[in-house]
Amino acid sequence: MRDVVLATRNQGKLREMAEIARPYDIRILPLPDSVEMPEETGLSFLENARLKAQYGHKATGMPVLADDSGIEVDALQGLPGIYSARFSGPGATDARNNLLLLERLAGKAQRTARYRAALVLCDGPREWSAMGTWDGEILTAPRGLGGFGYDPLFLVPELGRTAAELRSEEKSRHSHRGKAMRALCALLAQGGEEAEADR
């Protein structure tokens, strides 16, 4: 069993990533309370993930996995993107972010969107990275009680349900984060350093 620290305070991500990693014999550990994560100053999901992974590794001395992810909405020219978690400003919450997204999309016919995830695992001089994408549409009202973030608004057309209506194993199978994590685990097994798992 390989122990890896996940560089996040988001309990939803922690639970989700632990479930995805378990079949690969990877145990996901929470970030120690004493470690303060750096400000996300990168201009892409991958830059932010790398920044957090490197910082976390230096602070803990452990292999550290960092995720940066968010939702890109076509009618908003790709926003909120890397600002997804703080879309509604200081003190942002999932509820406030979702409400602002609905306000910005009011009256717009185009509802296509995609979740993107970038993962970086830093273990000393070695790094591995992977990307994943999940296509969907934004509803006009939330549905479902599961998941976190924008999941209640994110409709998966081929399943006819939102991400918040999926069972955890279903979400892991289809999601951007699940795709990226499986690609990363395959890289670890093969000795590669970068992968993309968009579909």
Angstrom distance (rounded) from CA 194 to CA 37? 24
74 catalytic per annotation = no
Q: Is the omega angle on the peptide bond into residue 80 within 30 degrees of 0, that is, cis? A: yes
Q: Please pick, among 3, 25, 67, 68, the residue that the annotation labels catalytic.
A: 68
Say if residues 178 and 197 touch (Cβ distance below 8 Å): no
Three-state secondary structure string covering the chain: CEEEEECCCCHHHHHHHHHHHHHHCEEEEECCCCCCCCCCCCCCHHHHHHHHHHHHHHHHCCCEEEEEEEEEEHHHCCCEHHHHHHCCCCCCCHHHHHHHHHHHHCCCCCCEEEEEEEEEEEECCEEEEEEEEEEEEECCCCCCCCCCCCHHHEEECCCCEEHHHCCHHHHHHHCHHHHHHHHHHHHHHHCCCEEEECC
Q: Which residues are tagged catalytic?
A: 68
